[in-house]
Amino acid sequence: MDMKRSSQTLQSLDRAHHMHPFTDPKAYASTGGKIISQAEHIYIYDADGNQILDGMSGLWCCNLGYSQNKIREAIYEQLGTLPYYNNFFQCSNEPAIEMAKALVDVTPAQFNRVFFTNSGSEANDTNIRLVHRYYDLLGKPQKKQIISRENGYHGSTIAAGTLSGMSYMHEQFTGVDYVHYVKQPHWFKDGADMSPEEFGVIAARSLEQKIDELGEENVAAFIAEPIQGAGGVIVPPSTYWPEIQRICDERDILLICDEVICGFGRTGSWFACETYGIKPDLMTFAKAVTNGFQPLGGVMIGDKVADVLNAGGGEFAHGLTYSGHPVSCAAGIATLQILREEKTIEKVATDIGPYMEQQWQSLADHPVVGQARVKGMVAALELVKDKNSRERLAPQSQGATFCRDAAIRSGLMVRAVGDSIVSAPPIICNKEEIDTLIARLTKALDETAAEYGIRT
């Protein structure tokens, strides 16, 4: 069977039997999608043999690209030693122990304990359990309300989906009733005539207003991504996070930092909370912790919370069959070793990150770009018809969808989020590869401008 027929067969079987996440099943059943069959370095290949530069690192997770033999070998070796055992009932396993210590070594000083999950969604569910248990043990059982942000993303289980501030998700399920939302720090969309710095303070103080509305005695925690990833790579103004930290510190509110997308080097620090000077009490991690080679997530538990849980006694009635899975933890240990030994994050901070920022900002001059946002190796473009009025290219974000598809045709995988094009390429890219990314994206922007009658 030749490659073309194989591709057609795969697409037919996929449409017939596979229900995809965040996909319109009716539309997909008729149109199908792209079958990815191979990957190496920073490139993926579809079943027809087309090479595509992966400008999304898989799903924000393959920070080190696809050709990491050290991780593969660690997985293979662990499968031959202990392929599985649980961490319930006073049991543990060596990779989980070593991975916990490795995480403590690279996270901020307040973190000395880890609760392992399989994903960021489960980790954020775990955060709710930890927060509620913490305040129960402190004799404050009424502190159950949690505040999140509009357009934030924290996962897709019922609880994590409620934490996510995306209304289109909420329309399809009944969420928990103790989650509330405040303004996102999206200056381009909501800042009107304010400076980014003025808007950053106003967006942050919407948290203070919500605490007053709910009553400080009832509010347990605020959860947020340092940079909103799935919401469109919303890079906050410089004034935003200092004001958020002040509010949480003054109001007895736990701060949960969701580092699922930003963690493990994407902003030039191990974690973006360090980039922004945030001191969270709980920190969610997943995705790049194993370079996407195995599912692993978890919560770094700050001493403030852990000390209360340990001193309070009683069982923490929460767990997952695959929590601390030995094979996943072996992959994580190998991933962290690569990041340390090859000084990958230092290179993002001093070399490739600044270069990516410089090259990405050059796209701000393109006629269909209203704003270019970038921090290290995560970036977005706001697409517009008119730069002054910020009028969009087309209804229902069709302009961004067109641009995304044009980029993929040009050999670049990016993502359309609303009217934005977002990118998070592997952090191991060199400058020539960043130049290729920018050139292919520019071609897609030119095609988009032509499609909507805008001169370039």
**DSSP designation for 300:** E
- Is residue 234 predicted with pLDDT exceeding 80? yes
Q: Can you give the pLDDT at residue 3?
A: 47
- Is residue 182 predicted with pLDDT exceeding 60? yes
For 414-451, how does the pLDDT look when each residue is reduced to its tens digit (9 = 90+)? 999 999 999 999 999 999 999 999 999 999 999 999 99
Cα 342 to Cα 344: distance, rounded to the nearest angstrom: 5
Q: Can you give the pLDDT at residue 1?
A: 36
For 16-63, how does the pLDDT look when each residue is reduced to its tens digit (9 = 90+)? 899 999 999 999 988 888 899 999 999 999 998 999 999 999 999 999
Residue 4's pLDDT band (cuts 50, 70, 90): low
For 356-383, how does the pLDDT look when each residue is reduced to its tens digit (9 = 90+)? 999 999 999 999 999 999 999 999 999 9
Q: Can you give the pLDDT at residue 32?
A: 86
Pick the closest to residue 74 from 54, 50, 98, 100 (CA basis).
Answer: 98
Q: What does the block give as tokens for 68? A: 């990491």
Q: Can you give the pLDDT at residue 314?
A: 87
E strand segments, 309-441: 369-375, 378-383, 412-413, 415-417, 420-423
CA 438 to chain centre: 22
Instruction: Give me the amino acid identity at 438.
Output: I
**DSSP designation for 260:** T
Q: Can you give the pLDDT at residue 6?
A: 73
Residue 224's pLDDT band (cuts 50, 70, 90): very high
Return phi, psi of residue 324, to 5°: 70, 35
Return phi, psi of residue 322, to 5°: -100, 15
Q: Can you give the pLDDT at residue 209?
A: 98
Q: Indicate the SS3 state at residue 61.
A: coil
Specify whether the CB–CB gap between 392 and 254 falls below 8 A: no
For 240-290, how does the pLDDT look when each residue is reduced to its tens digit (9 = 90+)? 999 999 999 999 999 999 999 999 999 999 999 999 999 999 999 999 999
The mean per-residue pLDDT over the stretch 297-324 comes to: 95
Name residues whose C-beta falls within 8 Å of residue 414's C-beta, 6 or more positions apart in sequence.
55, 56, 404, 407, 408, 421, 422, 423, 441, 444
**DSSP designation for 418:** T
Q: Can you give the pLDDT at residue 413?
A: 98
Q: Can you give the pLDDT at residue 192?
A: 80
- Is residue 141 predicted with pLDDT exceeding 80? yes
Q: Can you give the pLDDT at residue 2?
A: 47
Residue 312's pLDDT band (cuts 50, 70, 90): confident
Lowest-pLDDT choice from 15-24, 290-299, 326-335, 437-446: 15-24
pLDDT, greater one: 14 or 284: 284
- Is residue 123 predicted with pLDDT exceeding 70? yes
- Is residue 211 predicted with pLDDT exceeding 80? yes
Q: Name the average pLDDT for the chain.
A: 96
Domains and CATH numbers, the chain: 34-67+344-451 (3.90.1150.10), 70-341 (3.40.640.10)
Q: What does the block give as tokens for 112? A: 């000395």
Residue 8's pLDDT band (cuts 50, 70, 90): confident
Q: Can you give the pLDDT at residue 30?
A: 87
Cα 118 to Cα 286: distance, rounded to the nearest angstrom: 8
